[in-house]
Amino acid sequence: MEPLTLHEDRYFDPQPAVREKARALYAETRDLPLVCPHGHVPPALLADDDPFPEPTALILEPDHYIYRMLYSQGVSMEALGIPPEGPAADGVQVEQDPREVWQLFGEHYYLFRGTPTGAWLDYEFSEVLGVDSTLTGESAQHVYDQITEKLDDPDFRPRALFDRFGIEVLTTTDPASSGLEHHRRIRDADWDGRVVPALRPDAAFALAAGGWEDEIERLREQTDREITDYDGFVKALEEQRAFFKKMGATSTDHAVVEPLTQRLSDRQASDLFDRALRGEATAEDQHAFQAHMLMEMARMSCEDGLVMQIHPGALRDHNASVYERFGPDSGADIPVPTEYTRNLRALLNAYGNHPNFGLVVFTLDESTYARELAPLAGHYPAMRLGPPWWFHDSIEGMKRYRRRTTETAGIYNTAGFNDDTRAFLSIPARHDLSRRIDANYLATLVARHQLSMSEAHEMAHALAVDLVRDTYRLDREKEGGG
């Protein structure tokens, strides 16, 4: 078995003139708090604070990056212990033993060489869980045992880890209809970790999708308000925004395939909503309604100050048979080319100059960094450019992002880092990687005499904590309720 050790200079350029500066810059940001303005950790994890069951459930289950890679190399979902849904499940053999799944994971761990998933997992193993060997087929059971032992320790419960990780605030992502019960329980608990919701109303805007009526029903129950027309719908949303804000929220989030923004007349919006209530809404209706509701959400943000996030450009559930058998988030979302200049124009024209509006725009289409997003963020006062997202939240992805956006927008029109993760243990790993790459980027500019070290120190601090706090209005004193 190979010993698992993380090199203290990992991810820095080997060039000594860069490396020594990167080291110095990173030394000042490594222990700063982790500010987490966007992610997918289930709030129940911190409301329940139960011990993690065992390594496979802890590491594999929440991580679609892992499934995706193993599936791409012919490992079936069933062999990974994931049961298919519905009639397709009949007679299928699903692996029940988590140790067997872990063994399979170990045997395929080499696939992650050179990937950020591999880097994050090595960090989780080494720095969080104290594993001493590189994961392979040979070491798999040994690693499993080592992790299992740790999970019995109360120091490895979710809240204890939250505190150990130095998380200043953790933002979850919650449907518009949520009653935020888990967040209530966290607030009521004898623990002062800050966990805040973010309102993501996508399901309520998807007029033509299967689950739309159910979401409207949940929204109706939650707000105790009849939602029989568009006006009632808008009022319910406004009410939920106020409720989320009272529960600490500082942001909303919106996932769309195309970031079209376009205001409809009230009459048009009402007609679309009525059509949906009758079950007659089409894909085109939904597209128009989503574009309109982004305008409405921006209007409300100007009023209530919740920062608006747009995450466009992922075609969800590309693989129909995987989707039908295993449901959403099974690793088959694929990006599409995305246009921002024309699509966001209506929204930015209407609200982009408003002093109370904050907008964070993300992309899965890196060709838009230098072409569209940096010029937009480098002009509109309301807009900040979100950090490299998903497939691009990686060593090379972060380098491309800084190289393509800084020269037009500077660093001060970017939104700082967010980890965007479902995998709780990966949070410190992701922030650490990001801080290392930012330190290395700034060190390169210093080594090229574009910056002084004192400027670079200020910028490293900004990239680690100041920009994200400012963009997401997450300074502690600004918190609403609680």
Is residue 93 a contact residue for its own copies (CB under 8 A)? no
Nearer to its own copies by Cβ, of 282 and 321: the residue is 321
Binding mask 435-464 for its own copies (x = CB under 8 A): ----------x-xxxxxx--x--xx-----
Options 164-172, 194-202, 228-236, 365-373: segment touching its own copies (CB under 8 A): 365-373
Among positions 37, 197, 259, 331, the unique one binding its own copies when judged by CB under 8 A: 331
Options 10-18, 144-152, 174-182, 235-243: segment touching its own copies (CB under 8 A): 10-18
Sites for its own copies among residues 381-420 (CB under 8 A):
381, 383, 391-392, 394-397, 403-404, 406-413
Nearer to its own copies by Cβ, of 106 and 352: the residue is 352
Is residue 296 a contact residue for its own copies (CB under 8 A)? no
Nearer to its own copies by Cβ, of 193 and 397: the residue is 397
Is residue 30 a contact residue for its own copies (CB under 8 A)? no
Is residue 2 a contact residue for its own copies (CB under 8 A)? yes
Nearer to its own copies by Cβ, of 43 and 84: the residue is 84
Number of residues that bind its own copies (CB under 8 A): 90
- CB atoms near residue 427 (< 10 Å): 24
Is residue 345 a contact residue for its own copies (CB under 8 A)? yes
Nearer to its own copies by Cβ, of 44 and 94: the residue is 94
Binding mask 244-273 for its own copies (x = CB under 8 A): ------------------------------
Among positions 95, 202, 253, 365, the unique one binding its own copies when judged by CB under 8 A: 365
Sites for its own copies among residues 102-141 (CB under 8 A):
110-116, 119
Nearer to its own copies by Cβ, of 98 and 416: the residue is 416
Among positions 26, 35, 56, 71, the unique one binding its own copies when judged by CB under 8 A: 71
Among positions 216, 377, 423, 429, the unique one binding its own copies when judged by CB under 8 A: 377
Minimum distance of its own copies from residue 353's CB (angstroms): 6
Is residue 43 a contact residue for its own copies (CB under 8 A)? no
Options 70-78, 219-227, 236-244, 421-429: segment touching its own copies (CB under 8 A): 70-78
Inter-residue contact 341 to 100 (CB < 8 Å): no
Is residue 356 a contact residue for its own copies (CB under 8 A)? no
Is residue 367 a contact residue for its own copies (CB under 8 A)? yes
Q: What is the 3-state secondary structure (H, E, C) of the chain?
A: CCECCCCCCCCCCCCHHHHHHHHHHHHHHCCCCEEECCCCCCHHHHHHCCCCCCHHHHHHCCCHHHHHHHHHCCCCCHHHCCCCCHHHHCCCCCCCCHHHHHHHHHHCHHHHCCCHHHHHHHHHHHHHCCCCECCCCCCHHHHHHHHHHHHCCHHHCHHHHHHHHCEEEEECCEECCCCCHHHHHHHHCCCCCCEECCEECHHHHCCCCCCHHHHHHHHHHHHCCCCCCHHHHHHHHHHHHHHHHHCCCCEEEEEECCCCCCCCCHHHHHHHHHHHHCCCCCHHHHHHHHHHHHHHHHHHHHHHCCEEEEEECEECCCCHHHHHHHCCCCCCCEECCCCCCCCCHHHHHHHCCCCCCCEEECCCCCHHHHHHHHHHHCCCCCEEECCCCHHHCCHHHHHHHHHHHHHHHCCCCECCCCCCCCCCCHHHHHHHHHHHHHHHHHHHHHHCCCCCHHHHHHHHHHHHHHHHHHHCCCCHHHCCCC
Among positions 151, 339, 422, 461, the unique one binding its own copies when judged by CB under 8 A: 339
